[in-house]
Amino acid sequence: MATAAAACNGGGLLCYKVLSVSMLILLLRGLVEPAAAACSVDAIYSFGDSIADTGNLLREGPVGFFASIGSYPYGQTLRKPTGRCSDGLLIIDYFAMALNLSLVSPYLDKGADFASGVNFAVAGATALDRSVLLLSGVMAPPASVPLSSQLDWFKSHLNATCPSQEDCTKKLAGALFLVGEIGGNDYNYGFLQGTRSIQAMKAYVPQVINAIMDVAKEVIELGATQIIIPGNFPIGCSPSYLSLFSVSGAGDLDDRGCLKSYNAFAQHHNELLQAAIDGLRKANTDVATIVYADYYGAFMHLLDHASLLGTYLT
């Protein structure tokens, strides 16, 4: 199986257009060889939601659904709650470890030195601004920090740490950017609040994709050369969706016990996202390496091989 080092080519992060399931699984399980030298990655800048948040929401003051992230079992295997929506490490942590970097500190941790980059992701975040969601009656949590605000944080960080534009460009050229996973909450809030049907939510997808692409374009303009943009997960396999919608949609279940219609929606998002990434890649052929990360396929791989990977589902 390929290692992260083998996947690197000519100083760029990846020579592939899609981060394969096998590579992603290797990264998630921490089995790749350290590859910082081959990849020339010396920092990670991350934008996203709870999939990547390493402590920003905890410092903002989590409320509602996220109020418990400051106590066990969150952070239990790390010996303290860190603000991660997990009992242990996240995908971004495994990326950092694979690249022989220290774990990436959250932006709101003002005591951090940010030597390995900065994490701007916030649990509960949306790709679209709250005002856009409200127009269709979709409510985002009070502490939600949308993608546009995370980009503002990034620019403030650059203004505070770069002596000059030339210095910034050089600094960002050696960094890896994770733009997402983001957009899942835009859909979650609409679906789980019961305000929007699948068909109605499809109208949001192009707007969500545009918001993601706008941030990717802007970081490229600022000097980013290595970018990973992940897709959405199979939300139809999520316990929250299954508990709310499986009774009324029993005929919608597939062989895995997942909701086919909601997984089809996630695949629709991913298809439009990949098409947009292809366009961005063509427009920046000589400027940046842009990779789509197949989180949907990786999740399904884990689900289909749960017993072999040490996870048992009931």
Sheet holding 117-119, edge to edge: 18-19, 289-293, 226-230, 175-179, 43-47, 117-119
Give residues with Cβ within 8 angstroms of 297, minimum separation 6: 21, 24
3-state helix, strand, coil in the chain (%, to 5): 50, 10, 45
Answer whether 104's CB lies under 8 Å from 48's CB: no
Structure tokens at 270: 């991913």
Q: Where are the beta strands (DSSP E) in 188-280?
A: 226-230
8 Å CB contact between 144 and 133:
no
Instruction: Please tell me the distance from the alpha carbon of residue 249 to that of residue 253, in angstroms, as a whole number.
Output: 7
State yes or no: pLDDT of 296 exceeds 80.
Answer: yes
Residue with tokens 């597939």: 254
| Total residue count of the chain as it appears in this document | 314
Q: Give the 3-state secondary structure of residue 31.
A: coil
- Amino acid making up residue 76: Q
pLDDT, tens digit (0-9, with 9 covering 90-100), for 144-174: 899 999 999 999 999 999 988 888 888 999 9
pLDDT digits (tens, 9 = 90+) for 238-272: 999 999 997 766 689 999 999 999 999 999 999 99
Domains and CATH numbers, the chain: 42-62+89-308 (3.40.50)
**Structure-token pair, residue 180:** 């997402």
The pLDDT mean for the chain works out to 86
Q: How far is C-alpha 15 from the chain's CA centre?
A: 20
Diameter of the chain measured on Cα atoms: 60
pLDDT digits (tens, 9 = 90+) for 11-22: 444 444 565 555
Could you list the beta-strand ranges (E) of 215-266.
226-230
Mean pLDDT, residues 310-314: 59
205-241 residue pLDDT tens: 999 999 999 999 999 999 999 999 999 999 999 999 9
Reported as a single tens digit per residue, the pLDDT across 180-204 is 999 999 999 999 998 789 999 999 9
**Is residue 57 scored above 80 in pLDDT?**
yes
Element (H, E) at 296: helix 295-304
Strands (E), 214-261: 226-230
Task: Select from 211, 70, 63, 25 the least CA-distant residue to 131.
Answer: 211
**β-pair partners for 117:** 44
